[in-house]
Amino acid sequence: MTIDVPDAITGNAKRYADALRDAREGVAHALDDLVAEFSPMLWRVARRQGLDRVEAEDVVQSTWLALLRSVESLTTPAALPGWLVTTAKREAWRIRAKVRRETPADREWDELADGETGIDFDVVERLGMAPRYASLWRAVRQLSDRCRDLVAVVATVERPDYNEVARALGMPRGSIGPSRGRCLNQLRELLQADPDWNG
């Protein structure tokens, strides 16, 4: 079974268009739903750019404020997720260039990410994760940086938004929707090959 991806005009793009038009007209709370929907994605973009948690919060907030200020010029609603990702990345670079940190952004995530540390039993237990998440983490760590960025960010959005977000992130588009692409295919194969994941 494949994921049903709504047509660009009638699906998510319509929702984005309505929200952006309301925001242009000054309707209060016009962007509230989009904020709930896409903030986790922006958070992940900022964190994957190596910002700490406080900086990442700033990036999420300033990205939305930038959208409100650019709402007149954003004429292609379907491009909204891509616009958000690009703007958040730019904001993150700006902050990173300004602040030269000596300590890593998030020790837990970063030390794990460096590959020195695996997800051990302590982490699994403390965070209340199922033991098979250690396999998932092993698989994610084997992906290239680019693939990890993509998987980390795409994973934050609800299914119906894969289409736009995947495109914004450079995932190839197939005839009926986004293709799995190299990165997701790799993740899938790594997991399939892991007896702990399937067991």
Partner 1 sequence: METAGRNVAGADAPLDEVDAANLAAVRRLQDALDPMPEDLVAGVRFALSLEQLDAEVASLVEQSKVDARAGVDTAEQARTIIFESSTVTVMVTVALLDDDRIRVDGWLSPEGEYRVELRTPSDQFRTESDVMGRFVIESAPRGIFRLVIRPPRGRHGNPPVVITPSVVID
Write the CB contacts of 111 (distance below 8 Å, at least 6 apart in sequence): 104, 117
Is residue 140 a contact point for partner 1 (CB under 8 A)? yes
The least CB distance from residue 78 to partner 1, in Å, is 18
Q: How far apart are CA 163 and CA 171, in angstroms?
A: 9
**Which of residues 13, 15, 16, 44 is near partner 1 by CB under 8 A?**
44
Q: How far apart are CA 148 and CA 184, in angstroms?
A: 10
Of 74 and 129, nearer to partner 1 (C-beta) is: 129
* CA atoms within a 13 Å half-sphere pointing along the CA-CB vector of 153: 30
Is residue 16 a contact point for partner 1 (CB under 8 A)? no
Is residue 8 a contact point for partner 1 (CB under 8 A)? no
Encode burial over 57-92: b for 16+ CB neighbours within 10 A, e otherwise: eebbebbbebbeeebeebeebbbbbbbbbebbbebb
Is residue 117 a contact point for partner 1 (CB under 8 A)? no
> What are the residues binding partner 1 (CB under 8 A)?
1-3, 23, 26, 28-29, 31-32, 35-36, 39-40, 43-44, 47, 53, 57, 60-61, 64-65, 68-69, 106, 108-109, 112, 127-129, 133, 136-137, 140, 151-152, 154-156, 159, 162, 166, 172, 174, 176-182, 184-189, 191-192
